[in-house]
Amino acid sequence: MNARLADRLAIAVAQLNPVVGDVTGNLERARVARAQAARDGADIVAFSELFIAGYPPEDLVLKPAFQAACRAAVETLARETANGGPGVLIGTPWVEDKKLYNAYALLDEGRIEAIRFKVDLPNYGVFDEKRVFAPGPMPGPIVIKGVRVGIPICEDIWGAEVVECLAETGGEILLVPNGSPYWRGKTEERLNIALNRVVETGRSFI
């Protein structure tokens, strides 16, 4: 925690159930959760990977109208953060320079403050993200209330490279949004992977 700028950062984690393709409904779910986070005294509320679109959106994210709807929902939610309530961290498909990314955005003070793109795109089992998304560049941390927060997105923690980059560029804690499906034994497997990243970097992990 950076005591010079903040001696406290309260993060609410909204582990909800977004519906694939229901952009309007997912936006409303985010609003309800943000209102609850405000009542709980949170500084920021974090949602899951691709929350606005629902996960996994598959070919739906290739439709320009759907991309535009997701972007409009994120921009609307960003404007709503001007009301002094908690900021928002939320997953969304995002088009930048004609490339489509699996993105995670910080919304605060009425605007989109920062955005990060998933680097490691899974392409095995039920996953085919390499087919629909472009890989993002290696990320740096995002400053939230004076704390440098590293945000590796889901698969980005299954290897060490992205997390090492975030730690080396000043990340003080790691916040990892996930949207992947469950299989038997997965909870233990993910815990072991998370512990490896914590041990390697010495960073706290959400």
Q: Is 145 among the residues known to form the active site?
A: no
- Catalytic residue selected from 70, 118, 155, 172: 118
- Catalytic residue selected from 70, 154, 165, 172: 154
Q: What's the chain's length in residues? A: 206
- Catalytic residue selected from 49, 113, 129, 155: 49
Give the residue carrying structure tokens 């970097």.
201
Helix (H) or strand (E) holding 161: helix 161-168
Rounded to an integer, what distance in angstroms lies between the CA atom of residue 82 and that of residue 160?
Answer: 36
Q: Is 154 among the residues known to form the active site?
A: yes
Rounded to an integer, what distance in angstroms lies between the CA atom of residue 167 and that of residue 174?
Answer: 9
Q: Is 75 among the residues known to form the active site?
A: no
| Residues 6 or more apart in contact with residue 47 via CB below 8 angstroms | 14, 16, 30, 33, 88, 89, 90, 91, 177
Contact 24, 63 (CB under 8 A): no
Contact 206, 176 (CB under 8 A): yes
Active site residues: 49, 118, 154
